[in-house]
Structure 1
Amino acid sequence: MLNLSIVLEDSARENPDRTALVFGELRLPYSLVDTVANQVANLLVSRGIGKGDKVALACPNLPYFPFVYFGILKAGATVVPLNVLLQSREITYHLEDSEAKALFCFEGSPELPLGERGKAGFEGAANTEHFFVLPATPFATESEYGETIWAALDGVSGEFQTVQTSADDTAVILYTSGTTGQPKGAELSHQNMLMNAMVSDEMFPRAEGGDAYLAVLPLFHSFGQTVIMNAGFRRRGTIVLMPRFEPGPALELMRKENVTLFAGVPTMYWGMLTKIHADGDEVPTSLRVAVAGGASSPVEVLKDFETTFGVGILEGYGLSETSPVASFNQPGKPSKAGSIGTPIWGVEMKLIDGEWNTVEGEGPGEIAIRGHNVMKGYYNRPEATAEVMNDGWFRTGDIATRDADGYYAIIDRAKDMIIRGGFNVYPRELEEVLMTHPEVSLAAVVGVAHDSHGEEVKAYIIRTPGATVTEEQLVAWCKENMAAYKYPRIVEFRDALPMTATGKILKRELR
């Protein structure tokens, strides 16, 4: 018997009155979160949903997310978290591909019409039988989109005996854009998810008076789910929910709620630093651990953060397919800026070539991973699974080097690499150099089609406030600071760059 819901149940049993969730003025104790999750489990069972069934959840960082997530797990079913930015057609695709029996969907807001999209997506999926609305108004029992969760839970018992699941049963199906084609669902077992939450929790020392985590990474994404929600619940911490990242309000919440642990993507750190330097926002003093992942942090941002906050950013690495954490700059070992650290406990990493041969020494090579964190496979996709799995090893599509101490450093996604005139150009390396220019605030480098070179190197730049550098000046500066085959011949200034819901820069929209 192993069920991921134990991270909530144990904490609710041991510390029922401790605050589990903070959302605006709401402060919800562990006992309440567990009780509502039990009600959700009872509701699912009453509608004929149980062990092995899939249930989709489309919801931003609101208390509903853990209520429903753990309710689904308690019922022995599998959670299918959906990105809240999906359009109706994409929601239908995910429901059909995962064979979901039900969808819990946030009602949404004028800025994010999720209820409308979710309802249309549900109607397009013939085999999804149940649609539950998570209303925008707390405890509302009616919604234009259908049955609300509060109406459905009326009179339902808050006691539930968690269904027995085994370590290898599927707990979560996480959809990943992958490198090509339609999104695929990575099947992660209870053991995958629980071990990853445990190792993530054990990695960081606990605060004397208890920890507070700022949850601004989307919980529907593996990073927020494992490192913030599941690890945070396991250590009986308080999860401060923030549905949308904005630098000012994030800093304010950190100060107000004495946040001790923050996990974010590099653009979030960049945003907070920009806010502090430009508007003189006060630096929170409670922060003890800062974790980054999702993309490589520019070294300039790492330096600036440590100087400003007095806390170094620990960079880690992982993918949806690895639950997600695979390696980390771990406390107690020297931290190396610009590296993704060493494999976490119980996980092995190596470098391979295109034919799965091991690459010795420092590489470069493609990272392959083996351990308790590697997915069972892509749901209903044996061919796609066979392409990335070999004898327990999972190939990541990320190119890295490894130093003498065993620390890995990502050079780039294999697919982001630019081939200019037969030379391999790694955009990340150029972005690092560009960000050392005093008038460059953020940089994204991509390859664009070129008649004679195959690809040409182009840089998109957000300038620092008040900067006057021109495209010609920046190209000339690059020419002096980078090899002739590498430097960007084209520079375009932008006020903003397209980003995913998790804050990664969308290179494909820039190409």
Structure 2
Amino acid sequence: MTRHAADPAIDGTGYGMLSVASILAESATRAPDRVALYFRGEALSYGELWSQTRAYAGALRELGIGRGDRVAVLIPNVPDFARVYYAVLALGAIVVPIHLLFKANEIEYVLRDSGADLVVAASSSLAEALPAARDAAVDLVTVLAPPPVVYVPAAKTAANASPATPATIATNAAGSGATPPVAAALGTEPPSIRRLEDLAGAAVPIARHEPVRPMDAATILYTSGTTGTPKGSVGSHLAIVEQVHNSLIDSLDILPDDVIFGGLPLFHTFGQTAVLNTGFRRGAAIILLPKFDAAEAIELMVLHRATVFEGVPTMYIALIEAAAARVEARPPLRFAVSGGAALPVAVLEKFAETFGAEVHEGYGLTETSSTVSVNSRYEKTRPGTVGRPLWGVEVAVAEPEVEGRIELLPDAGAVGEIVVRGYNVFNGYLGRPDASADAVVDGWLRTGDLGTLSADGFITIVDRKKDLIVRNGYNVYPTEVEAVLARHAAVSMVAVFGVPDDVHGQEVHAAVVTRVGETVEPNDLIAFACERMAAYKFPRVVHFVTELPLGPSGKVLKRVLTERFAAAV
């Protein structure tokens, strides 16, 4: 067989260019006066936002940031997230969003693992970000901090001492309190921290965004680390842009006049792709809320006449609860989108009844940039499923216990591991070829989720493989039990999980948050479930809790519940 010499016209390199930054740049060119963001009672147009972004990019360029560099970002859901996100991408650099609740050691890990060249941190994150950047030897600039930006170490602010001057920052990104002083470990001299706003004011704005190749890295998003050390999932410009286009063409009829509620954290793939990039590509307006609060969310959606809501199940539950305590007007929602975790059908139905908007449930992962499937606006929604795969994305069901190869299950409706292939699959885990090879086998991404695929292509997620409960040798899928308990009138939120048991292998437990003003006995809930499912499935133990532990994307951390209640047995 004749071997062909490498040729960029053949091997996929080529000369084509594609940048996520063009999403904002193009909308600013086509509709500069259209509202891009609503925040704290103000409206920011696309033209204004792109102009500010170009200035930020000019400042970052003068700091030495260019193509392929990695910029870590710790900014809440405020306009500066969009400015910094698109400024970094406009330079051909890579965005590394970091969870806002990370502590200094966790931030330091991400900085080192990603090879970050710069950190841009909101003033509200400086107490953790500064020591992390110092220890990782990474330069840092801040946003949202009122000048002068000088911090007095904690050692200098004893209980009886007079307030230091200049004072530590007194307002954070959300405008809701004081920023803690930087740890005394930073030294006795207050560090000088440059404000990106000041640097942008003095910089020459970029004229246009830098061209990059479609498969070049755009983002490095860190997995939650629920099964070990967090890994950096590398997403390409192609995956993000094509995901946006497919959503707009085949799945969600978002219009330029739509107003989207942006309460999803923008450091997470769901918020970045489904809200920020998709909304901006259409030229729609986005309402930003730094920290989700259901009552405030309703007020903002009514004020700005929101037409699209996107959130995770815990947000839907909170909105239903908040609406029950209010008699004010409802926002004119056309539809809603749910993802991040399974949405109980009872919650879906109650939201539709309360807000008059059909909910379209979807499914995705960090490694799929972010969506795999969704119940399309263009066909009848099938509650209890996560819809059909997006165009160009193929989904199959594989034997979950087979390692090292993919063994597809031939029968429609068979329960197995969901596997995915398509343009949306990530480039791999940064610096972890072995982990990448374990995740992508025979060209298929192993999701770790158990589910079924109907004959007409609808996907039903049963549960995570790691959350499966095996009681007396029988498989119990927590989401199935949760869907039943969620229909009880007294239940607001519920999580079902397994606890090790000497007799049964694992016992089925449920953690329940009750609705405001409602009371119920554990045995009543157990009996409620017992009447509605097989004997091996219903929970034998019910715990009442005030709240459920949540991860970065709003998913319930069942491992935390297992650890907590296993220790109490």
TM-score after normalising by structure 2: 0.85
Counterpart in 2 of 1:173? Answer: 220
Counterpart in 1 of 2:142? Answer: 133
Paired residue secondary structure (1:68): helix
How far apart are the structure 1 equivalents of 2:148 and 2:218? 29
Counterpart in 2 of 1:382? Answer: 433
How far apart are the structure 1 equivalents of 2:64 and 2:35? 33
- With over 3 angstroms needed to count, the CA separation of the structure-2 counterparts of 1:159 and 1:141, relative to structure 1, is farther
Fraction of identical pairs, as percent: 41
CA offsets per residue over residues 129-176 of structure 1, 9 Å max, x none? x20111244xx4635361111222232123333222100110001111
Contact 1:248-1:281 at 8 Å conserved across structures: no
Q: What code does the residue aligned with 1:334 have? A: K
How far apart are the structure 2 equivalents of 1:143 and 1:300? 51
Counterpart in 2 of 1:155? Answer: 202
- With over 3 angstroms needed to count, the CA separation of the structure-2 counterparts of 1:143 and 1:13, relative to structure 1, is farther
Counterpart in 1 of 2:247? Answer: 200
Q: Return the match for 1:503 from 540, 551, 554.
A: 554
Counterpart in 1 of 2:531? Answer: 480
Counterpart in 2 of 1:357? Answer: 407
196-205 or 369-378, which deviates more: 196-205
How far apart are the structure 1 equivalents of 2:527 and 2:350? 26
- 1:191 counterpart = 2:238: yes
Q: What code does the residue aligned with 1:83 have? A: H
Paired residue secondary structure (2:325): helix
Q: What code does the residue aligned with 2:76 have? A: P
Q: Return the match for 2:500 from 449, 459, 472.
A: 449
Q: Return the match for 2:515 from 425, 442, 464.
A: 464
Give the structure with higher Rg (CA): 2
Q: Give the aligned length.
A: 500
- With over 3 angstroms needed to count, the CA separation of the structure-2 counterparts of 1:25 and 1:476, relative to structure 1, is closer
- 1:266 counterpart = 2:273: no
How far apart are the structure 2 equivalents of 1:352 and 1:178? 24
- With over 3 angstroms needed to count, the CA separation of the structure-2 counterparts of 1:141 and 1:166, relative to structure 1, is farther
How far apart are the structure 1 equivalents of 2:247 and 2:37? 19
Gaps of 5+ in 2: 1-16, 152-190, 563-569
- 1:313 counterpart = 2:359: yes
How far apart are the structure 2 equivalents of 1:9 and 1:349? 33
Paired residue secondary structure (2:100): coil
- 1:42 counterpart = 2:73: no
The Cα shift of 1:475 comes to 2.2
- 1:124 counterpart = 2:135: yes
How far apart are the structure 2 equivalents of 1:192 and 1:267? 27
Contact 1:36-1:67 at 8 Å conserved across structures: yes
Counterpart in 1 of 2:287? Answer: 240
Contact 1:276-1:282 at 8 Å conserved across structures: no
The residue correspondences of 1:12-31 to structure 2 (distance < 5 A) are 12-31=28-47
How far apart are the structure 1 equivalents of 2:150 and 2:554? 31
How far apart are the structure 1 equivalents of 2:454 and 2:36? 41
Counterpart in 2 of 1:97? Answer: 113
The Cα shift of 1:281 comes to 4.1
Gaps of 5+ in 1: 109-113
Contact 1:260-1:288 at 8 Å conserved across structures: yes
Q: What code does the residue aligned with 1:89 have? A: N
The Cα shift of 1:197 comes to 1.6
- 1:224 counterpart = 2:231: no
How far apart are the structure 1 equivalents of 2:291 and 2:493? 21
How far apart are the structure 2 equivalents of 1:436 and 1:48? 56
How far apart are the structure 2 equivalents of 1:469 and 1:252? 31
Counterpart in 1 of 2:258? Answer: 211
The Cα shift of 1:232 comes to 0.7
How far apart are the structure 1 equivalents of 2:306 and 2:477? 36
How far apart are the structure 2 equivalents of 1:491 and 1:318? 30
Q: Return the match for 1:2 from 12, 18, 23.
A: 18
Q: Return the match for 2:473 from 406, 422, 436.
A: 422
CA offsets per residue over residues 341-392 of structure 1, 9 Å max, x none? 0001111100011331011221101111111100010011000000010233
Counterpart in 1 of 2:149? Answer: 142
Counterpart in 2 of 1:438? Answer: 489
The Cα shift of 1:464 comes to 2.4
Counterpart in 2 of 1:111? Answer: none
Contact 2:254-2:279 at 8 Å conserved across structures: no
The Cα shift of 1:277 comes to 1.8
CA offsets per residue over residues 305-337 of structure 1, 9 Å max, x none? 122222110000000100001101011112110
How far apart are the structure 1 equivalents of 2:103 and 2:394? 38
The Cα shift of 1:454 comes to 1.6
The Cα shift of 1:50 comes to 1.0
Contact 2:393-2:422 at 8 Å conserved across structures: yes
Contact 2:397-2:408 at 8 Å conserved across structures: yes
How far apart are the structure 1 equivalents of 2:516 and 2:286? 34
Q: CA RMSD in A?
A: 1.5
How far apart are the structure 2 equivalents of 1:510 and 1:410? 21
Counterpart in 2 of 1:64? Answer: 80
272-281 or 114-123, which deviates more: 272-281
Q: Return the match for 1:115 from 111, 126, 134.
A: 126
Contact 2:375-2:387 at 8 Å conserved across structures: yes
Contact 1:216-1:245 at 8 Å conserved across structures: yes
The Cα shift of 1:443 comes to 1.0
The Cα shift of 1:492 comes to 0.8
CA offsets per residue over residues 462-497 of structure 1, 9 Å max, x none? 122333321123223333332221111111111221
How far apart are the structure 2 equivalents of 1:26 and 1:476? 52
Q: What code does the residue aligned with 2:36 have? A: A
How far apart are the structure 2 equivalents of 1:136 and 1:240? 22
How far apart are the structure 1 equivalents of 2:494 and 2:304? 33
Contact 2:246-2:391 at 8 Å conserved across structures: yes
How far apart are the structure 1 equivalents of 2:225 and 2:422? 21
Q: What code does the residue aligned with 2:149 have? A: E
- 1:87 counterpart = 2:103: yes
The Cα shift of 1:18 comes to 1.5
CA offsets per residue over residues 277-303 of structure 1, 9 Å max, x none? 23334322x211200000111111111
Paired residue secondary structure (2:220): strand
Q: What code does the residue aligned with 1:345 have? A: W
- With over 3 angstroms needed to count, the CA separation of the structure-2 counterparts of 1:225 and 1:143, relative to structure 1, is farther
Could you list the runs of 4 or more consecutive aligned residues of structure 1 that deviate by over 6 angstroms after TM superposition?
none
